[in-house]
Each structure stands twice: as C-alpha cells, then as structure tokens.
Amino acid sequence: MIDETAPPQLRDRIARDLAPVAPLKKPWLRAALALPLGILLLFAASTVYSLRGDAGRLGWTLTWGLSTIELALGMLLIGMALRDAIPGRVWSPPALLASLGTALAAVFLITLVTWRVSPTRILHESVAYVTSVCFGYPLIAALPVILFAGLLVSRAYPLRPQLAGALYGAGAGLLSDAGWRLFCHYSDPAHVLTAHLGAIVAATLIGALTGRLLRPRS
Amino acid sequence: MIPKPPAEQIPNASSPRARLDETELREWMGEYQAGRLEAFDRVYAAIAVPLRKYLTALARDAAEAQDLLQEAFLQIHRSRHTYDRDQPLLPWVFAISRHVYLMSLRSARRRPLRGADNLEETELSFAVPPEVDGLADRLELRAAVARVGAERREAMLLHHVWGFSFREVGAIQGVTESAAKLRSSRGMAELRGILKERR
C-alpha cells in the first residue's frame, strides 16, 4: 500500500498559509451580483436622455421586451464566464460557439424586427456623429460591468482567462446595448450593426484583455 | 480533527480512480478548505500518486513530473476556495494539474517530444487498457504509449487508466464529451497501430 506523504518543504509552505477559506458560491449565484448593474444600464439611457421616439409604434414587446431578452443573454454570458473560471468546469468549444452565436443572432434578429416595424434612418450629414455616440457611450457604460465581472472571475481560478474575459465582455456589451437601444431610435441595420454591434465586439475584446490582465499569477 | 480511518479505508494511491473513495475525498477537501493540515495530508496521500502518473504521461519525464506535482499542489492550495463539494474532486484537481503542465510548457518554450527513456517503471505501472493488454510487454507498451499523440494519449489514459468518464475527460481537456471519446478511441487505435508496427 502506498500512503505517500507530502515533501516537508511543500507541507511547510502549505502549513504557513493554511487559513480557512470560504468556498465560492455557484457561478450563477455569483453572476446574479452583476444583475443590479445590468438593470441599472437597462434604465439608464432612457431615463437620463429619453425613451426612443418610436417607442409607441414599437410597443412594449419590441422595446422593453427585446431589451430584457438582451439583458438575459448578457447575464447568461457572464454566468458562463464565471463557470468557465472554475477548474474542471470549462465549456467546450461547441457550447461557447453556440452561446456567442446565439447572442450575435439575437442582436441581428432584434435589429431586423425593429427595422421592419419602425424603419428610421440617420441623416447623411449626421452619420459619423451618431455612429461615434452609439459606439462610444454604450462601450463606456459597459466598462464598469466588465471590471466587476473581471473581479468576480479573478476571485476564482480561470484556466482560460482571456476566453472568460471575452465571455463577460460580450455579456457586458449586451447589457449595455439593451439599455442604449431604448434611447437610440435609429433602427437602420447599417447603423445598428456597425455602431451598436461594434460596441459589443469592442467590449468583448476589452473583456479578453481584462481577463488577461486580471489572470491569476503563479 | 479528522479521525484516522481504518487502514483498509486509506485509499491505495496507485489504484485507478474508481477505487478512490470520492465521498471521503470530498469530505477531506472540505476539511482542507476549513484550514486543517491533516486534511491536506490525506488529500495529498490519496491523489499524489495518480497525479504524478498523469503528469508523467503529459511531460514524459519523471523528474519534471515531480516538480510539476509540487507546483500543482501549490496551485491546488491557492485555488482551494474554488472547489465545490457538490462536484467530484478529481476532475478539478486534474484540470489544475493540466494547466500547470501547459503553463510550464509555454514558459519553457519547450523541446520537441521526447521518447519514454526518462520514464521510470514505477511511474507507468498503471493498469493497461484491456484492449491492448497482451499485445506487448510492459516496456514495449510504455514506449508505444509515449508515441501516441499528446491529446489522444491524455484522453485515453484519463479514461482507460484513471477511470474518468468521457464527460469528465471533456471537462478537463475543454472539449465536448464526444470529442473526448473520439480522442480516446483514436488514441487506442494509434496505440494498436504502433504496437502492430513494432512486431
């Protein structure tokens, strides 16, 4: 029978640092901590500025309803990032592709449905300005969520920190866009799929970078 | 204080995973999280040998595997708060150890694959997958296993030798259950091919 004991040097190091630790809560419970930020973002733009001008034409379902779906998808991605940060619980490539693909498809679908019911274009001379606003503001609004989720993930032990970062970055981008689309009434797919989707993609990249910066170091 | 289990309950660390008492392991890990050194000793005693074999199979170098084992235990210690007692312990432990190996591989920008020359007999005294048992002697088999592609070899050993389910192998390797199954079966096919070629 082999009853191996730890080498004294290792055992001493462990003994020196053997404080009791509280096991992490389940990833989904920890993801819920980001929900207040998501809800805040959902209401922020329409409260600070105004609800989109065509809200009456779109109705509750195509405004708040679709934004709530986007919020739920964003939370799902953040939850997935938190689970991926637990050793032995990583997502497989198909699961990752499916979730990111679903998020992307949802943005496309929301854009097309909104455009179909209420087509609104940007005046040619305002394109650059509106695009920069609809790219920059949601991206800035996503940063606190990225940082918060990044800290939650770094509390665990992410074996793929960039990937986890990309997941919560995409999630934060979706949360931010869920609120921003309630203010921005330009439904032209050319605008939404460049400025709004561009902000989500940029948030994904910033998330990956944040994941790398906050990764556990040996 | 954890009561010392009767001798027959102390896991034989050289036995496959199936023979490790998962419930006890989880209990000890919980005690370890609570800050008890005796629990660390028990966890170490239970998993050090299979973990060293796993790291040896990855690194193909017994001395390096010993270093990796120490580093793996330090990382296990550092991340012990991430272990969820509702989940089996070994996939968590093996995933961390795999990460330690990959990090060492990356930081060393390492050498091309080596043969099995540096493997000690004790490190590969594992159960042989029944499909290939009898096709070759242990020495031959050891060299043949070392020639199987890295990811396929890992999946094959995790499943056939250490008794992980394909779902767990997938979680350790970051692939789907079916991809893990495919890797393992391709590894077995490759191993059979190598053994036939050598005859």
What are the pLDDT digits (tens) for B98-111? 999 998 888 776 45
- The reply to whether B157 falls in a domain is yes
Query: Which has the closest alpha carbon to B159: B145, B174, B169, B151?
Result: B169
- Written as six digits, the tokens of B27 are 């209990």
Instruction: Give the CATH number for residue B136.
Output: 1.10.10.10
Distance (Å) from the C-alpha of residue A85 to the closest C-alpha of chain B? 9
The predicted pLDDT at position A101 comes to 95
Report the distance separating Cα B102 and Cα B99, nearest Å.
5
Q: Would the CB atoms of A11 and B91 count as touching at under 8 Å?
A: no
- The reply to whether B6 falls in a domain is no
Average pLDDT estimate for B56-64:
85
In percent, the amount of chain A with pLDDT more than 90 equals 94
**pLDDT surpasses 60 at A148:** yes
Angstrom CA distances, B102 to A153, A168, B75, stand at 20, 24, 13
- The reply to whether B2 falls in a domain is no
The predicted pLDDT at position A65 comes to 97
Judgement on whether residues B21 and B116 belong to the same structural domain of the protein: yes
- The reply to whether B11 falls in a domain is no
Question: Structural domain of residue B184, as residue ranges?
Answer: 126-193
The predicted pLDDT at position B21 comes to 79
- The reply to whether B114 falls in a domain is yes
- B122, B138, B168: which is the final residue of a domain? B122
- For residue A85, give the 3-state DSSP assignment: coil
Report the distance separating Cα A209 and Cα A163, nearest Å.
10
- The reply to whether B35 falls in a domain is yes
Q: Which of A9, A88, A93 is opposite residue B175, by nearest beta carbon? A: A93
Angle of CA points A119, A121, A123, to nearest 5°: 160
Judgement on whether residues B70 and B166 belong to the same structural domain of the protein: no
Judgement on whether residues B60 and B103 belong to the same structural domain of the protein: yes
Judgement on whether residues B42 and B135 belong to the same structural domain of the protein: no
Q: Structurally, how many domains does chain B consist of?
A: 2
- Written as six digits, the tokens of A101 are 């693909």
Query: Which has the closest alpha carbon to A38: A165, A145, A189, A192?
Result: A145
Average pLDDT estimate for A77-81:
97
Distance (Å) from the C-alpha of residue B56 to the closest C-alpha of chain A? 17
Judgement on whether residues B166 and B142 belong to the same structural domain of the protein: yes
pTM, 2 dp: 0.84
> Whole-angstrom distance between the N-terminal and C-terminal Cα of chain A?
34
Average pLDDT estimate for B65-81:
94
Q: What is the pLDDT of residues B103-149, one digit of tens each?
A: 888 877 645 444 444 444 434 444 455 555 565 676 777 788 888 88
Q: Would the CB atoms of B41 and A95 count as touching at under 8 Å?
A: no
The predicted pLDDT at position B174 comes to 87
Average pLDDT estimate for A5-16:
92
**pLDDT surpasses 70 at A86:** yes
**pLDDT surpasses 50 at B2:** no
Average pLDDT estimate for A35-54:
96
- How many residues are there in chain B? 199
Instruction: Using the structure block, give the residue that is written with the tokens 């001493």.
Output: A12
- B95, B122, B149: which is the final residue of a domain? B122
The predicted pLDDT at position B136 comes to 62
Residues of chain A contacting B78 with CB distance shorter than 8 Å? 157, 216
- Written as six digits, the tokens of A55 are 């809200």
Judgement on whether residues B36 and B92 belong to the same structural domain of the protein: yes
Report the distance separating Cα A40 and Cα A55, nearest Å.
19
Judgement on whether residues B94 and B134 belong to the same structural domain of the protein: no
Q: Would the CB atoms of A88 and B33 count as touching at under 8 Å?
A: no
Average pLDDT estimate for B26-54:
93
- Written as six digits, the tokens of A184 are 């921005």
> Whole-angstrom distance between the N-terminal and C-terminal Cα of chain B?
56
Judgement on whether residues B97 and B168 belong to the same structural domain of the protein: no
The predicted pLDDT at position B108 comes to 72
- The reply to whether B45 falls in a domain is yes
| A26 pLDDT tier (thresholds 50, 70, 90) | very high
Bigger pLDDT: B162 or A45? A45
Judgement on whether residues B55 and B106 belong to the same structural domain of the protein: yes
Query: Which has the closest alpha carbon to A10: B100, B78, B15?
Result: B78
| Whether complex ipTM tops 0.90 | no
